[in-house]
Amino acid sequence: MTNLESGAFYNGTYRNLFEELGYSEEEIAARLEDTWNELFYGDQDVRIYYPMGDDKGYLLDTGNLDVRSEGMSYGMMMAVQMDKQEEFNRLWYYAKTFMQHTDGRYKDYFAWHCKPDGTRLSQGPAPDGEEFFAMALFFASNRWGDGPEPYNYAEQARRILRACVHQGEDGEGDPMWDPATKLIKFVPESSFSDPSYHLPHFYELFALYADEQDRPFWKEAAAASRAYLHKACHPVTGLSAEYANYDGSPADIQPHGDFRHFFSDAYRTAANIALDWEWFRKDPWQVEQSNRIQSFFSDKEVSDYRRYTIDGQPFEEPALHPIGLLATNAMASLAADGAYARQFVRQLWDTPLRSGERRYYDNCLYFFSLMALSGKYRIY
């Protein structure tokens, strides 16, 4: 085993950064379980999960009062990591029933948002949902075993990935990965990407679990995404745009807004890079990148987080999800070895979940960070 192949995938060892700071195993475990309970069964101004009938449930985007493929797949990943099969199955059955297309140009993709009652608000998919659905389903298969359809988790995951790679080969629809560059698209019809969608650590596992014919593709996609992130992240600040072209440059202004800057979507990029380092440790640049972004935010109060150009110029506009940004800055400590790694971990520990209208996105990122930093965001 080389030094670079010392990630958790190879040795099964996951760092517990809270324990490294002196917190006990008991209080870390209690913090995780308490946070899960707050998010799924807590007070109305904190919870984001809602059971539906006898067999379904959903995560609510509390800022927009809709249900998103992003949130549903995030909730499934949280549930499988926390060994909560009932909630996992409820989320999956809701997504399968109301969101997944059964025919047409989006067959096997998921409508990206709908009303809580399951009525679709848009037919189009958003690829960050599909990749999280697939990974959560594979982990569920490996952790709990497969059941009868639709709880035959591994086959459901392979079906999603099959569409992601091959959609459109029969003349209808588009794949979610650009065939030429092997880079994930913003939406299937687009010709640009979203840096925060790039999950090379997932693609490495898809290369083990997906249809055998597609496994070489996923290995190539992992390498392509790692290389892409070098170009999409600013070499001084470490910031990335929300949407970026296949060459890494910020994408043009879109009809639905200006996404050339470091704002809500982009926060996830730092967390994804750090988790890839924790699991696979294949790219030493990820350490430097994590140090850069922590250095940029080291002198900024959470209450003063803003929208930034990727070279670091602040706008007057405050961050819409400051707790989410703190969470991803802290999660960067999985890879960072600079002066601020411990600072951000302690700061996250000392910060409660967000409450109120905009809590959904912040608290999803918060819980992923809490799991990762406690060594509980694992490969199954």
Amino acid identity at 299: D
Residue pointed to by tokens 């979940």: 353
**pLDDT beyond 70 at 210:** yes
Residue 379 has a CB neighbour count (10 Å cut-off) of: 18
What is the average per-residue pLDDT within 351-365? 98
Q: Which helix (H) or strand (E) holds 58?
A: strand 56-59
Catalytic residue among 66, 70, 87, 108: 70
57-63 contact pairs (CB < 8 A, 24+): 57/87, 57/90, 57/91, 57/94, 58/91, 58/94, 58/116, 59/91, 59/360, 59/364, 60/116, 60/360, 61/113, 61/360, 61/361, 62/356, 62/357, 62/358, 62/359, 62/360, 63/357, 63/358, 63/360, 63/361
Q: For residue 125, which of 78, 190, 61, 77 has the smallest C-alpha distance?
A: 190
Confidence of residue 6 (pLDDT cuts 50, 70, 90): confident
Report pLDDT digits (tens) over 42-100: 999 999 999 999 999 999 999 999 999 999 999 999 999 999 999 999 999 999 999 99
To the nearest whole percent, how much of the chain has pLDDT over 90? 96
167: left (phi over 0), alpha (psi -120 to 50) or beta: beta
**pLDDT beyond 60 at 1:** no
Residues of 90-102 as b/e, b for ≥16 C-beta within 10 angstroms?
bbbbbbbebbbbe
pLDDT of residue 192: 97
Confidence of residue 4 (pLDDT cuts 50, 70, 90): low
What's the pTM? Answer: 0.97
Helix extents (H) in 186-299: 200-209, 215-232, 267-279, 285-297
Domains present along the chain, CATH in parentheses: 1-42+229-380 (1.50.10.10)
Average pLDDT of the residues of the chain? 97
Residue pointed to by tokens 């990727």: 310
Report pLDDT digits (tens) over 301-356: 999 999 999 999 999 999 999 999 999 999 999 999 999 999 999 999 999 999 99
Known catalytic membership, residue 70: yes
DSSP code of 30?
H
What is the average per-residue pLDDT within 105-125? 98
Report pLDDT digits (tens) over 136-192: 999 999 999 999 999 999 999 999 999 999 999 988 999 999 999 999 999 999 999
Distance CA 331, CA 345 (A): 7
Q: Is 180 exposed, middle or buried (0-12, 13-18, 19+ CB in 10 A)?
A: exposed
Residue 229 CA neighbour count, 13 Å, CB half: 30
CB distance 141 to 201 below 8 Å: no
Q: For residue 365, which of 114, 30, 59 has the smallest C-alpha distance?
A: 59
Determine how β-strand 49-52 pairs with β-strand 56-59: antiparallel
| DSSP codes joined into one string, 285-318 | HHHHHHHHHHHHHTT--GGG-EEE-TTSPEEEEE
Confidence of residue 256 (pLDDT cuts 50, 70, 90): confident
pLDDT of residue 257: 84
Catalytic residue among 130, 178, 265, 283: 265
pLDDT of residue 3: 57
